Chains A and B, each alone.
Chain A
Amino acid sequence: MSFLSFFKDKQKPGTPGDNGNVDRGIMVFENTSEVIQAENTLKREGWEIRVMGPPPEIQSGCDLVIEFPLIEELNILRSLEGEGIPPLEMVPVTSPLLQPVDLFHIKDFGEYIMVRAANMKLTVEKATENIVNVSGGGCPDVPYLAYEMVGQTLADAPSPREIGHTLCGYALQLAFEEVKRRC
């Protein structure tokens, strides 16, 4: 790098940074055969993925992993489960040791109970087990999930795992499971 290009490349405060892979995830599989099957499935469906070597933190099994768009984890997981090749792990590229949120916040309104998982909140009327509200979240499947779930009972509502696509949908799934466990 030349002296001038050093200054040219140096970012001004508040200018675009260089976190190009922060929205990517890694899928770990049991063996290379599953990696190849999963690659074929996902490429056929048009996903932007690539096969690569694993980062040091997760070198535990297969010597190949698949990089994928992290936000769409739920959608991709459903697709691979449908093919019978669920990954062993799905983790962020930038921090492979991070785990999905496992801390729930519960609020009891008397007639209603609200469960929050990460950024997603699900509220149910206790007596009827009707889902009365879905709030929080930022991915575009959240309003869609709310539209499909609000007004349904816990037993009848589609699960976010079935119809959601993103990590927000996944967080709502965790809240959905927790509220079912409590009701």
Chain B
Amino acid sequence: MLAIAGTVPSEDFPLVDGKITMVGNEIRIDDKRVSVNRGTPALMAAAIKTAETLGQPTPFGYLVGDTGLGKGSRHLYKYLTDHLPYSALQTMTFHYLQPIVHWHKRLQQVIYEIKERPTLIADAGFMYVAKMSGQAPMYDLFTPDIGELAFLADEKAPHPFYTRGFILHDENRVSDLISRAYDHNNASRFLLVKGKQDYLASRQGILETVNSPMEEALEAMGGTGDTITGIVSALIDSGMSIPEAAVTAMKANRLAGHYAKPTPATQVIEIIQHIPRALSEVLRANVAAN
């Protein structure tokens, strides 16, 4: 089973967990409804669409309200620390949580002691705290964009806000940034770098590059990084290897974006609705190629 943990932008939203479903433009979890525009709900929606397309069970979610004060995130860290040892998860994706190092360490200690450790995926604030904690190698997959890759490559930066200029200047040299991130043990087993071109990388360097279809406007859209993380999470949970899942997700996310005919003002829900069609096409092409 895939589980996804993250936040929604409201201080009043209580901590809920349960199977996530999607009705119209909303996700439903426990007795709560959340509109999908960006952030964790967008990741969850993309994972639901992917699981549906694959005929897999719907993902499990842990969701709490947090507008950046960190209160909800702390609550969720504690809840996960208490409950994950008793959960039968194959894949766990962590997303928008306040980066808090001591809570991350407690949670990782719990996960480390689980007999059959789930595949660990991190994006957004949870990827930041994994790097800040010096625990990036515990993870199987990070999904940074190019600015976040520069942060992973800067061994001194505690947050992307402090990434040093000479490293940010290197953003066109993605392979150098990837090498630097691995050299300082600030990268997960695999990296899915999302951007104008998408890259799959490991300690060995860049393994795959996907750059079509090209929709320049996607870079400006909030949530397109969240959708690719949702797609790859559900694909990995279905049993696909991480490299195959990453390349399939890169292609499907781009194709879904292409079908949405985006402008820089397009909202991510318009892309999510195209995921089943795009993913089916990519999966068919995968079968044909093999």
* Interface residue ranges, A against B (CB under 8 Å): 13-20, 22-23, 69-72, 75, 92, 94-95, 98-103, 105, 107, 109, 111-112, 114, 116, 118-121, 123, 125, 132-144, 146-147, 150, 164-171
Contacts and interface: CB of A to CB of B under 8 A. Distances in A.
A147 B37 contact: yes
A18 B105 CA distance: 9
B38 A146 contact: yes
B135 A139 contact: no
Given A109-B264, A118-B163, A143-B39, A165 B68 contact: yes
Given A118-B147, A121-B219, A143-B96, A20 B161 contact: no
B264 A123 contact: yes
A140 B263 contact: no
Of all A-B residue pairs in the complex, the 6 with the closest CB atoms, nearest first, are A141-B68, A17-B134, A165-B68, A138-B124, A144-B9, A143-B39
Interface stretch (B17-25, B83-91, B220-228): B220-228
B138 A75 contact: no
B164 to A, nearest CB: 7
A20 B101 contact: yes
Given A23-B132, A69-B70, A100-B161, 4 more contacts: A98-B156, A101-B163, A112-B265, A144-B68
B220 A72 contact: no
Contacts of A146: 9, 37-39, 222
17 contacts: A14-B137, A22-B133, A23-B101, A23-B129, A23-B132, A23-B158, A75-B68, A94-B158, A99-B162, A101-B168, A103-B168, A118-B160, A118-B161, A133-B265, A141-B67, A143-B9, A171-B161
A114 B219 contact: yes
A139 B219 contact: no
A18 B134 contact: yes
B253 interface: no
Contacts, number: 215
Interface of B: 7-10, 37-40, 66-70, 72-73, 96-102, 105, 108-109, 112, 123-129, 132-135, 137-138, 145, 147-148, 151, 156-165, 168-169, 171, 216-217, 219-225, 263-265, 267
B220 A112 contact: yes
Contacts of B171: 105
A31 B38 CA distance: 44
Contacts of B162: 92, 95, 98-101, 167
Contact of B133 (A17, A69, A102): A17
Given A144-B9, A165-B68, A171-B160, A22 B222 contact: no
A125 B265 contact: yes
A94 B171 CA distance: 24
Nearest to A95: B156
Given A114-B264, A140-B68, A167-B159, A101 B165 contact: yes
B65 to A, nearest CB: 9
Contacts of B158: 22-23, 70, 92, 94-95, 98
Contacts of A147: 9, 37
A143 B221 contact: no
A22 B101 contact: yes
Contacts of B160: 101, 118-119, 138, 167-168, 171
A75 B156 CA distance: 23
Nearest to A97: B156
Contacts of A15: 112, 135, 138
B263 to A, nearest CB: 7
A92 B161 CA distance: 11
A10 B161 CA distance: 32
A101 B150 CA distance: 12
A168 B161 contact: yes
A134 B222 contact: yes
Contacts of B73: 140
Contacts of A167: 159-162
